[in-house]
Amino acid sequence: MNDVLSQPVVVEGDVAAEVEAFLTKHWDKENGRPRDADGRIRGWMEKVFEAGWAVASWPREWFGRGLDKDDARTVLAAFRKAGAPGAGQDRTNISAATLMTFGTDELKRGLIPGFLTGKYTNCLLYSEPGAGSDLAALRTRAERKGDEYIVNGQKVWTSGAHKADFGLLIARTDWDVPKHQGISFFFIDMRQPGVEIRPINQITGDSHFNEVFLDNAVVPAKNLVGKEGEGWKVLQTALAVERLIMGDGAGERRQGSSKSNVVSLIDIAREAGKINDPLIRQEIARATAYRQLNALNVARAKEEMAQGTSSPIMSLGKLAMSRILHTDAAVMTQILGAASMLDGADNERAADVNYRTANAYMTSIGGGTDQIQRNIISERVLGLPREIELDRDVPFRTSRAVTG
């Protein structure tokens, strides 16, 4: 794979024909797996990366093909039609997109290939016990010591930390400037003695989230993304990608599954013998309209993300998906009626509804709460006045987040 990095990928002929030929040669569409004898997804992802399809819109010298947005859309559509993973990561890979926009050439060459091929996994070390909705109030400290930063603090609600190779970390490097200005962004090695991870058990039975304790953890100075003290700007790109992913339905996936777990409300109504109930039909129509509208908005957001922007439009999709998941659960409950109170293996449909009802709150909170998304939409999309922040322009050391 290293040989590929020094050789730009060249697009020859028609993109649609070329990507179709690649898929026909390497992907078994009938069985939904790579054609290689061992059928390894990692091996498949490496082939996609080496061919330049993973981030087709990126420049050729940076692992892509330099395609315009229409051709990049053609590539993604072909992969989706074939049921093949790996394309479109220029819009959906948080680590790779953040590094591409703000990372040094050394960091990009060292880490992006691993994130695009699945060799490396990540987690997001943002929220803290005292800095959830107001992330800029974070108190995790990163102190420069020679060629390293020493990190101390606590993060919470960190998805996938127990499996992650790297964490996207925001930490305070300057306490004597206003809160948004003293934050820096790092890629930290999660597999070191200074990182302790404790799972948080959810009401659904999943353990998506974790507490992470950082005790003299070490980050090489070269793993700083962007300039010291300008991490808030980097964070906005990372958050935009996360919200785009959640707006595209990531919150519907059960733990351990990469596939969307969408269930047809029409099928449930048919099973329950209520497909001709006018009130049920009206609720299904409303829920379906929400999904269709959100799909259009997410497509719009993806176009902006492909152009390297971190538009607040992503917040619309993320907020919409939260409403969709709660609405679907409510409609399912209405269809099942009293049977929705059942649970267990003998009541599969009711158990699914119960799971969805509880799990919907994950999307209401993750990636910024619904209330935070409404603030972003009101201020940055609608142009309404900003919310008053009394501590926005005072040194963080003297702010209420520190002094109480």
The four Cα atoms 149, 154, 160, 162 give a dihedral, to 10 degrees, of 80
Q: CB under 8 Å to 333, separation ≥6 — which residues?
A: 340, 353, 357
Catalytic, out of 128, 242, 252, 283:
242
Q: Is the dihedral of CA 234, 72, 301, 126 positive or negative?
A: negative
Q: CB under 8 Å to 194, separation ≥6 — which residues?
A: 151, 214, 215, 216, 217, 218
Tokens matching residue 107? 């960091």
Q: Any catalytic annotation for residue 242? A: yes
The strand pairing partners of 195, in sequence order, are: 214
Tokens matching residue 182? 């003293």
Nearest to 233 by CA among 298, 281, 185, 278: 185
Phi, psi (rounded to 5 degrees) for 218? -115, 135
- Return the active site residues: 242
